C-alpha cells in the first residue's frame, strides 16, 4: 500500500515538474487578464475603424455589411434549398420551415468532398462542381422540377452591396481558386446553374452567418453581430440594424498583435499559403493549432527537452499533427493514454514524462486560442451593450465549428474567460445545429417574409404618398373654395368660410399702453397682461397665467364654460393686483366665428373636442360680457375678438411689415391673410384690406378631396365628435394625426405585420396614440430606443423591425399632413401674387403651432411643398412668439389706434 502511495507521489511530482518546465518554455503564450483586456481594447478600436467610411480601407477587421437586417420571428414558412461552401466538404440541404409557433424546421442534407484540384483550380471548375452537386442532391430528393429559393453560405470574406450579391475579397482556409477574387460569387453560381440547363434557376440569397451574434470556431474563425445602422458609414440609412461580418481573422495583419506572436506563430505563418495574412485566425483556428503544436514539439525535441532529443520524420512533416490529435490528447480521463498512443503512431516512443509535457503543450496552445477568442468576443459584447445603452446586457451567442464542438475543454474555457472579461454581460452560448447551411436557408426565409411584408406595408401606405400632380390638384381645389367663400352667392354653401375679421390694419410701431388678452383654443386657457411701448425703445412685455379647462366644462353648458373663464380672469387680475382697472381686452377665440365687427363673433361651430351647449350661433363676446356681469366684480373693455391665426400674423407683422399671412399648424390647422376689400363681396366697401380667417379646416366637407382620403381618415372622422366636418383639418392637424397612426397600426397588426399580430388593450383605446409621439418617434436617432419606450408604454412588445415600421407609418402620415398644408398655403400665396398683379411675390408667413415647432420634419416638408407649387413666390416663414396672446393685445392696440384716428 505504501508503495502505491509512493508511486502516486512520484507521478504527481513528475507531472508538476513537467508542467513547470513547459510553462517556462511557453511563458509568452500564457496571457493574463490585463493583456486580454488590452487585446479587447485593440479589437474595439479596429471595429470602429472598420465601420468608418474614411478608415475602413486601413482597417484589418473589415466589418463587412451583410445586408441581413432582420432575424427570424417565427412567422417564416416554406421549403428552401441551401448550399454550404467553406471547408473540406461541400454540403447541399433542403430545409422545411414551419410556421407552427415553435420556429421548428426539418432538414435533410448530403455531403460532397471538395477535391484539392477543385479548391486550387479555376473559378469555372469550382462553381460547375457546386452546381453539379446541388443538382445531384435535388435529383436524389426528387426536387428537380420545383422552383425553390436558394441560400448560399460562402464562408470567405466578401464585400456585399446587397443581400444577394457578394464580391470575394480574398481566399482563406487553403482555398486558392483562380479568377474568383473581386467577382460576384452569387452571379458565378447562377451562371453555372444556367449552363447546366437546370430546370430551375434558384433565387440566390447569400450571407456569411445567420446568427445575430455568431461565432465560428473551426477550420476557420469569424464572428458576426447585429450593428446599429447609424454606426455603419459604409451603408446608406440610419434606421434599424444590420448584421456585420467582422472577418476578425485578419486582426493583427497590421502588426497590432506582434507583441503577442511567438517565434512559432511566425514560423507557422511563413509556411502558410498566405504569409502575413489572417494572423489572428492562425493563432486561434483549428486549421493551424495542430501545426503550432508540431512546431513547438519539434523545437523542444531538438533542444533535448523531449523524446531524448530524437527527431522523428513525423515531427519534421508539416501538418502531421492535426487538431483531432490535440483534442484527443486533452481529454481529462484518457488524455495520457491517448497521448502515448498518438505519439507512438508518430514513431516518437514517448516516456511518461514526455506524454505529460506534450499534453500540457496542447493545453497551453488551445487555452491561448480560447483566451484570444474570448477577448475579441468580449469586445463585440461590450459594443452591443453600449449600443443598447444598458448597464447590463442579456444576450445569446450562437456558436458553431469543429474546435468548439469536439475539443473537450474549449467551450468551458471560452465561457469562463468571456464572463470574466465582461462581468456586466449575461451571456448564453447556444450551439448551432447545421448553423451555416441551415442559417442560409433561414436568411432566405426571412428575406422572403420581409419581401412579402414590404409589399403589404407599401400597399397600406401608398395612399399617403401624394404625387406633385395630386398636390397641384389639391392646391387648385383650395383656390376654387377660397373664391366660393368670398362671393356673396356661394359663401353660404362654401366649405372654406372665408370669415371677415374686421382687422383692417397691421402694427405701425406707434401702438402703446396696457392691454389684457384672453386665449382660448385648447384644453388650457390663458390670461395675459401685455405692456406695449412705442418709439425708439419699442418693446412688448407680457405676464400670463395658464388655467386648465376640465373635460366636463369643455362638454358642459355654455354658461358653465364662460363662468369658468371669468373665474380664471378674476384669479389673474387679483394675482396681478389690477382688479379695479378697466383695461382694453382682446379675446383670442380659436374657433370658427362669423364676425359682424371686430368686437362681435358668432360661433359657427365647435372644433378641437369642445362641445359646450347653447354656444353655436351665439355671439361669444356677448356671452363673455354676460358672464362678467353675473360675477359683478370687475368690468372690461372688450375691443376685439380674435382668431389665433390673426394673432399669429399680427405678432409677426409687428417685427416684419411684409407679413400678411398667419398659419397655425398645431392642435388645429388654419390660415388667415390680408385680402383686398374689393374681393370680399360679403363686406361693404372696396378700399383697403381686411384680414380673412379662412377656416380652411372645413375644406373637403363637400367631398371635393374624397379621392385622397383613406379608409383610416374615414375611421378617424366617423369616430370624432363632429363626424363629416373639418375633413381637411383631420388630415393635417395635430389633434388627429396620432389617431390616424393608431388606426394604421391596428390594421397592420391584424395583417400580422406588427407586434406578432397581438393588439394590446391600450392600443384599442381611441386617442391613446398622442400626436406628440409622432414628433418623438421621428426625432429618434438613438437606436430607436425612444420608439420602443413609447410602444412599451402602450403595452406593445416591439422588435427592432416593429419600431422601424412604426416610424415609417408616422413619417408617412406627418409628411402627407405637411404636404397638404403646403398645397393649401400655395393656393393662398398665389392668390396674393395675383391680387398684387406682380410676376414675382415676396411675402412673409407668420407661423405658430406645436406641430410646426416641434415636429422634426413638418416645417421642412411644408416649405418644400410651397416652393414646388408656387415657384413665383418667395415665401419667408417666421416663427411667431406667442401669437395668440401677444397678437390679441396688438390687434386690440391697433383697433384702439384706428378708432381714435376715426374719431378725430
Of the chain, the percentage scoring pLDDT greater than 70 comes to: 91
Instruction: Judge whether 788 counts as a catalytic residue.
Output: no
Q: Which of 644, 701, 717, 802 is catalytic?
A: 644
Cβ atoms of 516 and 542 within 8 Å: the answer is no
Q: What is the mean pLDDT of residues 341-353?
A: 88
Q: How many other C-beta atoms can be found within 10 angstroms of the C-beta atom of residue 584?
A: 20
Q: What is the mean pLDDT of residues 256-261?
A: 95
Q: What is the pLDDT of residues 122-132, one digit of tens each?
A: 988 888 888 88
In this prediction, residue 218 carries a pLDDT of 66
pLDDT at 748 over 90: yes
Cβ atoms of 202 and 217 within 8 Å: the answer is no
Q: What is the pLDDT of residues 203-223, one digit of tens each?
A: 433 333 333 345 666 677 888
Cell of 266: 511566425
Least confident of 97-101, 570-574, 838-842: 97-101
Give just the sign of the alpha carbon dihedral 62, 67, 72, 73. Answer: positive
Give just the sign of the alpha carbon dihedral 681, 684, 685, 689. Answer: negative
Secondary structure element (H or E) that encloses residue 801, with its range: helix 800-836
Query: 3-state DSSP call for residue 243?
Result: strand
In this prediction, residue 739 carries a pLDDT of 95
Cell of 386: 453600449
The pLDDT confidence band at residue 400, using thresholds 50, 70 and 90, is confident
Instruction: Judge whether 733 counts as a catalytic residue.
Output: no
Backbone torsions φ then ψ of 272, nearest 5 degrees? -85, 170
Q: How far apart are CA 623 and CA 557, in angstroms?
A: 12
pLDDT at 250 over 50: yes
In this prediction, residue 213 carries a pLDDT of 41
Q: What is the pLDDT of residues 56-97, one digit of tens each?
A: 999 999 998 887 777 666 677 778 787 888 766 788 888 787
In this prediction, residue 886 carries a pLDDT of 80
Per-residue DSSP letter, 57: G
In this prediction, residue 594 carries a pLDDT of 85
The pLDDT confidence band at residue 687, using thresholds 50, 70 and 90, is confident
Query: 3-state DSSP call for residue 496?
Result: coil
In this prediction, residue 199 carries a pLDDT of 43
Per-residue DSSP letter, 122: B
More confidently predicted of 625 and 217:
625
In this prediction, residue 432 carries a pLDDT of 72
CA 39 to chain centre: 31
Pairing of strands 165-168, 158-162: antiparallel
In this prediction, residue 755 carries a pLDDT of 87
Q: What is the pLDDT of residues 707-722, one digit of tens each?
A: 999 999 999 999 988 8
Across the chain, what does the average pLDDT equal? Answer: 86
The pLDDT confidence band at residue 616, using thresholds 50, 70 and 90, is very high
What contacts 448, CB < 8 A, 6 or more positions away?
76, 78, 149
pLDDT at 9 over 50: no
pLDDT at 434 over 60: no
CA within 13 Å, CB half, 518: 27
- Residue 756: exposure state from Cβ atoms within 10 A (0-12, 13-18, ≥19): middle
In this prediction, residue 102 carries a pLDDT of 63
Q: What is the pLDDT of residues 13-36, one digit of tens each?
A: 556 766 787 888 888 899 999 999
The pLDDT confidence band at residue 248, using thresholds 50, 70 and 90, is very high
Q: Which of 590, 775, 814, 880 is catalytic?
A: 590
Q: What is the mean pLDDT of residues 797-805?
A: 83
Q: What is the mean pLDDT of residues 609-623?
A: 91
Instruction: Judge whether 526 counts as a catalytic residue.
Output: yes
Q: What is the pLDDT of residues 132-189, one digit of tens each?
A: 888 888 888 888 777 777 878 787 877 877 777 788 888 877 788 899 898 988 888 8
Q: What is the pLDDT of residues 849-867, one digit of tens each?
A: 989 999 999 999 999 999 9
Extract long-range pairs of 861-865: CB within 8 Å, 24+ residues apart.
861/814, 861/815, 861/818, 861/819, 861/822, 862/665, 862/818, 862/819, 862/821, 862/822, 862/825, 863/822, 864/822, 865/471, 865/818, 865/819, 865/821, 865/822, 865/823, 865/825, 865/826
Least confident of 46-50, 300-304, 397-401, 456-460: 397-401
pLDDT at 846 over 70: yes
pTM for the full predicted model: 0.69
Cβ atoms of 246 and 233 within 8 Å: the answer is no
pLDDT at 783 over 60: no
Cβ atoms of 48 and 379 within 8 Å: the answer is no
CA within 13 Å, CB half, 152: 23
In this prediction, residue 201 carries a pLDDT of 41
pLDDT at 409 over 80: yes
Closest among 322, 248, 306 to 280, alpha carbons compared: 248
Q: What dihedral do alpha carbons 877, 879, 883, 884 form, nearest 10°? A: 90
Q: Which of 69, 413, 526, 742 is catalytic?
A: 526
In this prediction, residue 440 carries a pLDDT of 61
Amino acid at each position: 500500500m505504501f508503495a502505491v502511495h509512493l508511486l502516486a507521489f512520484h507521478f504527481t511530482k513528475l507531472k508538476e515538474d513537467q508542467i513547470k518546465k513547459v510553462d517556462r518554455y511557453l511563458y509568452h503564450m500564457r496571457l493574463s487578464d490585463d493583456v486580454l483586456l488590452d487585446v479587447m481594447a485593440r479589437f474595439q478600436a479596429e471595429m470602429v475603424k472598420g465601420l468608418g467610411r474614411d478608415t475602413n480601407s486601413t482597417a484589418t477587421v473589415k466589418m463587412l455589411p451583410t445586408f441581413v437586417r432582420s432575424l427570424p420571428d417565427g412567422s417564416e414558412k416554406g421549403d428552401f434549398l441551401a448550399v454550404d461552401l467553406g471547408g473540406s466538404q461541400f454540403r447541399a440541404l433542403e430545409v422545411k420551415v414551419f410556421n407552427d409557433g415553435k420556429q421548428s424546421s426539418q432538414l435533410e442534407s448530403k455531403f460532397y468532398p471538395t477535391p484539392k484540384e477543385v479548391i486550387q483550380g479555376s473559378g469555372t471548375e469550382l462553381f460547375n462542381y457546386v452546381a453539379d452537386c446541388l443538382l445531384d442532391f435535388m435529383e436524389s430528393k426528387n426536387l428537380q422540377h420545383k422552383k425553390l429559393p436558394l441560400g448560399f453560405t460562402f464562408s470567405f470574406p466578401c464585400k456585399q452591396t446587397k443581400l444577394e450579391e457578394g464580391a470575394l475579397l480574398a481566399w482563406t482556409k487553403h482555398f486558392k481558386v483562380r479568377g474568383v477574387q473581386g467577382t460576384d460569387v452569387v452571379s458565378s453560381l447562377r451562371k453555372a446553374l444556367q449552363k447546366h440547363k437546370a430546370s430551375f434557376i434558384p433565387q440566390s440569397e447569400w450571407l456569411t452567418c445567420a446568427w445575430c451574434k455568431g461565432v465560428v470556431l473551426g477550420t476557420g474563425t469569424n464572428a458576426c453581430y447585429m450593428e446599429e445602422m447609424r454606426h455603419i458609414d459604409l451603408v446608406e440609412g440610419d434606421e434599424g440594424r444590420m448584421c456585420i461580418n467582422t472577418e476578425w481573422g485578419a486582426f493583427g495583419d497590421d502588426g497590432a498583435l506582434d507583441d503577442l506572436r511567438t517565434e512559432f506563430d511566425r514560423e507557422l505563418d511563413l509556411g502558410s499559403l498566405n504569409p502575413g495574412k489572417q494572423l489572428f485566425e492562425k493563432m486561434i483556428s483549428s486549421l493551424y493549432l495542430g501545426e503550432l503544436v508540431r512546431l513547438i514539439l519539434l523545437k523542444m525535441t531538438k533542444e533535448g527537452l523531449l523524446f531524448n532529443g530524437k527527431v522523428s520524420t513525423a515531427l519534421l512533416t508539416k501538418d502531421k499533427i492535426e487538431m483531432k490529435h490535440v483534442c484527443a490528447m486533452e481529454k481529462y480521463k484518457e488524455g495520457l493514454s491517448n497521448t502515448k498512443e498518438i505519439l507512438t503512431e508518430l514513431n516518437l516512443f514517448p516516456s511518461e514524462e514526455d506524454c505529460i509535457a506534450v499534453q500540457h503543450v496542447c493545453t497551453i496552445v488551445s487555452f491561448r486560442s480560447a483566451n484570444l477568442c474570448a477577448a475579441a468576443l468580449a469586445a463585440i459584447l461590450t459594443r452591443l451593450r453600449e449600443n443598447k445603452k444598458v448597464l447590463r446586457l442579456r444576450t445569446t451567442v450562437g456558436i458553431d465549428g469543429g474546435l468548439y464542438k469536439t475539443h473537450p475543454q474549449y467551450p468551458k474555457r471560452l465561457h469562463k474567460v468571456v464572463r470574466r472579461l465582461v462581468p456586466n454581460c449575461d451571456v448564453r452560448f447556444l450551439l448551432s445545429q447545421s448553423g451555416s447551411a441551415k442559417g442560409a436557408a433561414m436568411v432566405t426565409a426571412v428575406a422572403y417574409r420581409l419581401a412579402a411584408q414590404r409589399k403589404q406595408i407599401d400597399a397600406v401606405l401608398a395612399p399617403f404618398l401624394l404625387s406633385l400632380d395630386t398636390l397641384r390638384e389639391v392646391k387648385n381645389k383650395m383656390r376654387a373654395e377660397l373664391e366660393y367663400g368670398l362671393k356673396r352667392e356661394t359663401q353660404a354653401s362654401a366649405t372654406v368660410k372665408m370669415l371677415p375679421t374686421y382687422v383692417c390694419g397691421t402694427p405701425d410701431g406707434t401702438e402703446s399702453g396696457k392691454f389684457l388678452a384672453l386665449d382660448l383654443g385648447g384644453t388650457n386657457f390663458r390670461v395675459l397682461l401685455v405692456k406695449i411701448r412705442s418709439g425708439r425703445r419699442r418693446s412688448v412685455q407680457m405676464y400670463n397665467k395658464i388655467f386648465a379647462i376640465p373635460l366636463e366644462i369643455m362638454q358642459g353648458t355654455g354658461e358653465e364654460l364662460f363662468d369658468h373663464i371669468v373665474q380664471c380672469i378674476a384669479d389673474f387680475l387679483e394675482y396681478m393686483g389690477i382688479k379695479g382697472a378697466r383695461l382694453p381686452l382682446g379675446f383670442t377665440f380659436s374657433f370658427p366665428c362669423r364676425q359682424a365687427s371686430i368686437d362681435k363673433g358668432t360661433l359657427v361651430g365647435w372644433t378641437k373636442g369642445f362641445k359646450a351647449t347653447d354656444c353655436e350661433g351665439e355671439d361669444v363676446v356677448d356671452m363673455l360680457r354676460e358672464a362678467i356681469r353675473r360675477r359683478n366684480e370687475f368690468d372690461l373693455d372688450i375691443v376685439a375678438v380674435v382668431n389665433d391665426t390673426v394673432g399669429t400674423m399680427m405678432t409677426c407683422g409687428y417685427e416684419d411689415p411684409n407679413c400678411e399671412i398667419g398659419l397655425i399648424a398645431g392642435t388645429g390647422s388654419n390660415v388667415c391673410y390680408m385680402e383686398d376689400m374689393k374681393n370680399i363681396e360679403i363686406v361693404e366697401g372696396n378700399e383697403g384690406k381686411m384680414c380673412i380667417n379662412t377656416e380652411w379646416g372645413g375644406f373637403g366637407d363637400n367631398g371635393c378631396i374624397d379621392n385622397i382620403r383613406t379608409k383610416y381618415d374615414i375611421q378617424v372622422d366617423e369616430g370624432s365628435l363632429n363626424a363629416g366636418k373639418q375633413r381637411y383639418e383631420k388630415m393635417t392637424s395635430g389633434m388627429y394625426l396620432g389617431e390616424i397612426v393608431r388606426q394604421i397600426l391596428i390594421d397592420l397588426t391584424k395583417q400580422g405585420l406588427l407586434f406578432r399580430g397581438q393588439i394590446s388593450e391600450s392600443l384599442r383605446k381611441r386617442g391613446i396614440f398622442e400626436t406628440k409621439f409622432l414628433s418623438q418617434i421621428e426625432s429618434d436617432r438613438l437606436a430607436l430606443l425612444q420608439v420602443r419606450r413609447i410602444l412599451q408604454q402602450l403595452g406593445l412588445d416591439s422588435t427592432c423591425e416593429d419600431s422601424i415600421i412604426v416610424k415609417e407609418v408616422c413619417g408617412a402620415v406627418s409628411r402627407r399632413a405637411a404636404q397638404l398644408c403646403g398645397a393649401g398655403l400655395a393656393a393662398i400665396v398665389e392668390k396674393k401674387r395675383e391680387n398684387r398683379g406682380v410676376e414675382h411675390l415676396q411675402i412673409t408667413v407668420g407661423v405658430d403651432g406645436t406641430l410646426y415647432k416641434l415636429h422634426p420634419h413638418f416645417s421642412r416638408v411644408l416649405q418644400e411643398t410651397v416652393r414646388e407649387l408656387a415657384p413665383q413666390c418667395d415665401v419667408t416663414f417666421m416663427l411667431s412668439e406667442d401669437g395668440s396672446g401677444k397678437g390679441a393685445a396688438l390687434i386690440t392696440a391697433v383697433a384702439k389706434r384706428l378708432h381714435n384716428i376715426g374719431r378725430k
